[in-house]
Amino acid sequence: MLSITESAPYLVYLAPPLVGAFIGYLTNRVAIRMLFRPLKTWRIGRLKIPMTPGVIPSKRHQLADNIGEMVGEHLLTSDEISNSLQREAFQEHLQNLIESSVASTMKKDLGSLKTIIPPTYRTYFDIAVKTTSYQIKERLHTYLRGDDVSRILEEAVESWIDMVLASRIDNLVPADQQGLLTARLIDAFIQMVHNPATETQLASRISEEIISFTGEGGTCADLLPENIREAILEAVRDQTPRLLKQAARLLEDPEVKNRLVEALIEAIEEFVETLGPMSNMVKGFLKRELLDQKIKEYLDDKQEGISSFFQDHYIEIRVRAALGERLDSVLAAPLSDILRIEQTEELDTISELIAQKFLGLLDAHKTRQMLGRFLQAYFTQITAGGEQATGKTIEKIIGAEHYGDFRVRLRELLVGAFYSPETTRFVDRIVDDLSEQLVNKPIGRLDHLIPKGVAGALCTSLREMTTRLLISEVPGIVKSLNIRKIVTDRIDSFDLLRLEQLLLSIMAEQFKYINLFGALLGFIIGCANLLFMIGAGR
pLDDT in tens, 60-69: 777 778 877 7
Q: Does the pLDDT of residue 137 top 80, yes or no?
A: yes
How much is the average pLDDT of 220-245? 67
Supply the pLDDT for residue 248: 61
- Which pTM value belongs to this model? 0.41
Closest C-alpha to 122, from 110, 113, 131: 113
pLDDT in tens, 454-469: 888 888 888 888 888 8
How much is the average pLDDT of 145-159? 86
Residue 253 CA to residue 240 CA, distance in Å, equals 20
Q: Does the pLDDT of residue 51 top 80, yes or no?
A: no
pLDDT in tens, 377-408: 666 655 555 566 777 767 776 677 877 887 88
Residue 401 CA to residue 341 CA, distance in Å, equals 46
Q: Is 60 exposed, middle or buried (0-12, 13-18, 19+ CB in 10 A)?
A: middle
Q: 142 falls in which pLDDT band (50, 70, 90)?
A: confident
pLDDT in tens, 269-287: 666 566 566 556 555 555 6
Closest C-alpha to 302, from 255, 271, 239, 260: 260
How much is the average pLDDT of 108-132? 83
Instruction: Return the higher-pLDDT residue of 517 and 448.
Output: 517
Q: Does the pLDDT of residue 425 top 80, yes or no?
A: yes
pLDDT in tens, 305-357: 555 655 666 666 776 677 667 767 766 666 666 665 555 556 566 666 666 66
**Lowest mean pLDDT: which of 378-382, 486-490, 513-517?**
378-382
| CA 38 from centroid of its chain's CA atoms | 82
Greatest Cα pair distance, the chain, in angstroms, is: 222
Supply the pLDDT for residue 469: 85
Q: 249 falls in which pLDDT band (50, 70, 90)?
A: low
Q: Does the pLDDT of residue 430 top 60, yes or no?
A: yes
Q: Does the pLDDT of residue 86 top 80, yes or no?
A: yes
Q: 101 falls in which pLDDT band (50, 70, 90)?
A: confident
Which stretches within 226-302 are classed as H helix? 226-238, 240-252, 254-273, 279-285, 288-301
Supply the pLDDT for residue 246: 64
Mean pLDDT value across the chain:
73
How much is the average pLDDT of 203-219? 65
Q: Is 207 exposed, middle or buried (0-12, 13-18, 19+ CB in 10 A)?
A: buried
How much is the average pLDDT of 361-387? 61
Pairing of strands 109-110, 444-445: antiparallel
Residue 227 CA to residue 212 CA, distance in Å, equals 25
Closest C-alpha to 395, from 406, 408, 387, 379: 406
How much is the average pLDDT of 100-117? 82
Supply the pLDDT for residue 18: 84
Bridge partners for 48 per DSSP: 43
Instruction: Return the higher-pLDDT residue of 481 and 466.
Output: 466
Residue 24 CA to residue 515 CA, distance in Å, equals 8
Share above pLDDT 70 across residues of the chain, in percent, rounded to a whole number? 55
